[in-house]
Structure 1
């Protein structure tokens, strides 16, 4: 399948999801290309996985940024290969350095450089330990078994869309809960104020004119202590 055809299919896949990441981050070795940089020579001509370039081009045309997070110990070779492949300029961030942090350092640098939140990123990598570490940062992360391809892209975009939608629903529910709590507190305060106003003997004549709903609210605010003190024959209680 040629690059243009892959690109078109990738565009179709992106058109099927409602929410797209702002940034897609790729590992290099065994994710974009099928080898380890440190095992190759700068003089060689590298090759990407068959569908990698078409996917990169589709993301760029769709306005989605792309970046690199690689723990390669030979960044000079990696950069040379990116230039030879003609894709180096496509990446808004290129963090290529050896690290024991399983790429959390890489993503912190990418975040500082791009100012894009972790939960708006999608990440592809071939190592479980990197996927686990970066996922804990809030990045939607996908493990690839044979390089990045259309299947991995579809899986990643679907997972990203589901996670973001769930986050929005959770935030909405949380805000709605807080709103209800405030509303209930205001109702309680208002009811208490009404009760304090009418509990005086001189105001009980007005209580009989209240609606059944308001009477119920007032009844709930007559405490056991008040009833025990005043007795069940209190005129306010009788009027309810």
Structure 2
């Protein structure tokens, strides 16, 4: 039986999409619309195509359907680029096509620890920064961020830079198989 967290946090680079948004892409972005209006691919000003990992919309939709708050926690040095990407990517949610950024309850970015990102998100969402008081998880591709487990946050290690977060990894987390 699946057990959902109260809050799911996602790193961006090599977790949501296969690049470092602060070094690999250059705005502005041209969205490539699919036949239903979704935008899964962007083309940057140099012609570089970037798409989020294929299971991302399904995972985010499932979390939202189950009442989970979603935050982004990224060390990106280019938050304005990350924001532009999340605004330009569009996915179907509740029978509407919306910018992916609208599915995030908070965005915590900048060069600091993930613990700081998560505590700051809690202050905004709950006016308290006690990580231990919430069932949380962090999906991230950098093993150093496992440090969040000291505060009761489940670290879900995204190990494959070709696939990023996958439905299988997500289900393994939900069903306590990690």
TM-score computed with the length of structure 1 as normaliser: 0.56
Q: What is the alpha-carbon distance in structure 1 between the residues aligned to residue 67 and residue 118 of structure 2?
A: 20
Q: Residues 140 and 159 of structure 1 are in contact (CA less than 8 Å); yes or no, is this contact kept in structure 2?
A: no
Q: Which has the higher strand share?
A: 2
Q: Residues 141 and 156 of structure 1 are in contact (CA less than 8 Å); yes or no, is this contact kept in structure 2?
A: no
Shift in Å, 1:62: 1.7
Shift in Å, 1:59: 1.0
How much is the aligned-residue C-alpha RMSD, in angstroms? 1.8
Q: What is the alpha-carbon distance in structure 1 between the residues aligned to residue 125 and residue 116 of structure 2?
A: 14
Shift in Å, 1:159: 3.1
TM-score computed with the length of structure 2 as normaliser: 0.74
Moved over 4 A (4+): none
**Aligned match for 2:19, one of 35, 39, 60:** 35
Q: Does 1:105 align with 2:137?
A: no
Higher Cα radius of gyration: 1
Q: What is the alpha-carbon distance in structure 2 between the residues aligned to residue 159 and residue 71 of structure 1?
A: 27
Are the structure 2 counterparts of residues 137 and 72 from structure 1 closer, same or farther at C-alpha, using a change threshold of 3 Å?
A: same
Q: What is the alpha-carbon distance in structure 2 between the residues aligned to residue 97 and residue 89 of structure 1?
A: 20
Q: Secondary structure at the match of 2:22?
A: helix
Q: Which has the higher helix share?
A: 1
Q: What is the alpha-carbon distance in structure 2 between the residues aligned to residue 122 and residue 150 of structure 1?
A: 15
- Consecutive unaligned residues of structure 1, counting only runs of 5 or more, are 1-15, 163-240
Q: Counterpart in 2 of 1:65?
A: 69
**Aligned match for 2:9, one of 25, 28, 35:** 25
- Consecutive unaligned residues of structure 2, counting only runs of 5 or more, are 30-41, 43-49, 90-98
Q: What is the alpha-carbon distance in structure 2 between the residues aligned to residue 70 and residue 159 of structure 1?
A: 25
Shift in Å, 1:60: 0.9
- Equivalent pairs, count: 142
Q: Residues 122 and 156 of structure 1 are in contact (CA less than 8 Å); yes or no, is this contact kept in structure 2?
A: no
Q: Residues 4 and 66 of structure 2 are in contact (CA less than 8 Å); yes or no, is this contact kept in structure 1?
A: no
Q: Counterpart in 2 of 1:144?
A: 158
Shift in Å, 1:151: 1.4
